[in-house]
Amino acid sequence: MSFRCEEALMSDLDLDPTQLDRYSRHIIMDDVGPEGQKALLDAEVLVLGAGGLGAPIIQYLAAAGVGTLGIADDDEVELSNLQRQVIHGNDDVGRKKVDSAADFVEQLNPDIDVRKHELRVRPDNIEDLIDGYDFVVDGTDNFATRYLVNDACTLAGIPFSHGSIFKFEGQVTTFAGDDGSPCYRCLFPEAPPAGMVPNCATAGVLGVLPGTVGCLQATETVKHIIGEGESLDGSMLFFDALDMEFDKVEIPKRDDCPVCGDDPAIESVHDVEYSASCAIDVGGDDESEPEIEASD
């Protein structure tokens, strides 16, 4: 047993010998240590979507020992999901994704308390859903939900991670949820007309892409909980898997943002008509920002 683990065993952090062993590669790091591991075990994180992005997010947060993991999804596992949604297996086809995901987590790490939310995120349930969670990870696959998550988390001051994927491209950022931070509407004030941007079901997605983007979201989540490093708050990270390039673009906070600006038009999610619209006005002619949708 390492010195750090022995030290942790003698501390009052309530880590038992099994946990010291399981999380030993965290505990021996100065930037995590027993305190960081305890923070992870005490954290309550909500993952929206147990699909392409949700799978690696759930997988790594469970392995890292995030003590309470909420999982919200109302879909069933389909055979065409298995090309990328790696927490579900062949025998899970036809089962609810929340059940399959919860079984996966239990098998990986019995420390984790999984809260299953078998529902589709909507304006009438999101406020109760996110209430009490320390951090929200958005792995959903449509613009209506993306805006709803942004508005609800921003208004509630709950930090959240955004990720999306399209064919070979992905984007990820973190919104800290405090007064100085931008939100998704600072970048894209409104969703685009329905049907303008295809989703994964119609356009396809490279199977490993959500693995990369979801792992980046999980990394941001862990860093937020242990309070280490620089987060993506205030910038969007674009990933192009074909060219194997990452590009980080600043997201300025907008004074006239309809949610987090000086005189916000949106004071509640009930002020907005969230539709199934799936496109977005990228806010001008900035060619450096790919149009991206869908993280199914």
Going by C-alpha positions, the residue among 144, 265, 151, 124 that lies closest to residue 136 is 151
User: What residue type is assigned to position 143 of the chain?
Assistant: F
Nearer to Zn ion, 203 or 265 (CB): 265
Query: Total binding residues for Zn ion by CB under 5 A?
Result: 6
Token pair listed for 265: 């038009």
The residue behind tokens 């998704």 is 184
- Secondary structure class of 112 (helix, strand, coil): coil
Exposure string for 133-153, b = 16+ CB within 10 A, e = fewer: bbbbbbbbbbbbbbbbbbbbb
Q: Please report how the helices 3-10 and 33-42 are oriented relative to each other, as an axis angle in degrees rounded to 10.
A: 60
Q: Which is nearer to Zn ion, 200 or 259 (CB)?
A: 259
Q: Candidates 31-39, 51-59, 155-163, 176-184: pick the segment binding Zn ion (CB under 5 A).
A: 176-184
Stretch touching Zn ion by CB under 5 A, among 24-32, 117-125, 186-194, 216-224: 186-194
Q: Is 69 in the site for Zn ion (CB under 5 A)?
A: no
Write down the H helix ranges in 65-157. 97-108, 126-130, 143-156
Q: Is 185 in the site for Zn ion (CB under 5 A)?
A: yes
200 is catalytic: yes
Q: Nearer Cβ to Zn ion, position 58 or 176? A: 176
Task: Please list every residue from 245 through 274 that binds Zn ion, using CB under 5 A.
Answer: 257, 259-260
Least distance CB 215 / Zn ion (angstroms) = 26
- The residues that bridge with 115 in the sheet, in sequence order, are 70
Q: How far is the CB of 159 from Zn ion (least distance, A)?
A: 14
SS3 (DSSP) at 68 = strand
Active-site entry in 5, 200, 257, 260: 200
158: contact with Zn ion by CB under 5 A: no
Is 272 within 8 Å of 266 (Cβ atoms)? yes
By beta-carbon proximity to Zn ion, the closer residue of 19 and 181 is 181
- Residue facing Zn ion at closest CB distance: 257
In the complex, which residues of this chain contact Zn ion (CB under 5 A)?
A: 183, 185-186, 257, 259-260
Catalytic residues, by residue number, are 200
